[in-house]
Amino acid sequence: MRRSPSLPLLVPLLLPLLLIVPAAAHADDFPTSGRVEYVLECMQKHDGKYEYLYKCSCVVDRIARSLRYDDYVAMSVALRNQGLAGERGGEFRDEVSVRNMASKYKEIEAGANKACAVPQR
């Protein structure tokens, strides 16, 4: 049995992550699968109509220009889980920074929807 030597706590890299800084020029780092996932769900919300392939792609491209992928993931998860029932949902609803992430993302998505002519659902 080998024991790891005592290590200091890994330097927390999270504080910067929670200060969501809209990435201006260096964004657009979404992996293809990330964009596809977004478009699929968005099309699903609009009855699978083909035109939404283009409209939803427009939306995710805009979001990708505003947010780094890691931030987008965290923020969209924060929004998605606002309605998580019971005690567990408290983690997403009660914690102020998570609520802020959710609102910020909602705002960004709403703006992108408007610009790409996607009705809010």
Partner 1 sequence: MCTRIKATLAVAAGSLFLAMSGLSPALAQAAAAAPYQVSDGNKVDPHTLSGWRTWRALACERCHGAAQEGMVGPSLVNSLKVLSKDQFKDTVLKGRIDKGMPNFDGSKMVVDNIDNLYAYLKGRSDGAIQPGRLQEIGK
Partner 2 sequence: MSFQSRLTCLAGCMTACLALVAGAAFAADSDTAKLTKDPKNWAMQAGDLNNHRYSELKQITSKNAKNLTVAWTFSTGVLRGHEGGPLVIGDTMYLHSPFPNKVFAIALEDQSIRWKYEPKQDPTVIPVMCCDTVNRGLAYANGKIFLQQADTTLVALDAKTGNELWKVKVGDPKLGETTTNTPHIFKDKILTGISGGEFGVRGRITAHDINTGKVLWKAYSTGPDNELIVDPNKTMTWTDGKMAPIGANSSLKTWQGDQWKLGGGTTWGWYSYDPELNTVYYGTGNPSTWNPRQRPGDNKWSMTIFARDLDTGMAKWVYQMTPHDEWDYDGVNEMILADIKVKGKPRKALVHFDRNGFAYTMDRVSGELLVAEKYDPVVNWATHIDMKSGRPQVVAKYSTDKNGPDVNTKGVCPSALGTKDQQPASYSRKTGLFYVPTNHVCMDYEPFQIEYTAGQPYVGSTLSMYAAPNSHGGMGNFIAWDAGTGKMVWSKPERFSVWSGALSTAGDVVFYGTLEGYLKAVDLNGKELWKFKTPSGIIGNVTTWEYKGKQYVGVLSGIGGWAGIGLAAGLTKGNEGLGAVGGYKDLAKYTELGGVLTVFALPDR
Note the residues at the interface with partner 2 (CB under 8 A).
1-4, 6-7, 9-10, 12-15, 17-18, 33-34, 37, 40-41, 44-45, 47-48, 73-74, 77, 80-81, 83-91, 94-98, 121
Q: Which residue number, 65 or 93, has a Cβ lying nearer to partner 1?
A: 93
37 makes contact, choosing from partner 2, partner 1, none, with CB < 5 to 8 Å by partner type, with partner 2
Candidates 64, 59, 72, 81; CA nearest to 28 is 64
Backbone angles phi, psi at 106, to 5 degrees: -55, -40
Q: Does residue number 93 form part of the binding site for partner 1 (CB under 8 A)?
A: yes
Contact between 83 and partner 1 per CB under 8 A: yes
Which of 20, 116 has the CB closer to partner 2?
Answer: 20
Gap between the Cα atoms of 77 and 83, Å rounded: 11
Contact of 94 with 70, CB cutoff 8 Å: no
Chain centroid to CA 70: 8
Is 39 in a helix, a strand, or coil? helix
Task: Indicate whether 36 belongs to the interface with partner 1 (CB under 8 A).
Answer: no
Chain residues binding partner 1 by CB under 8 A are: 83-87, 89, 93
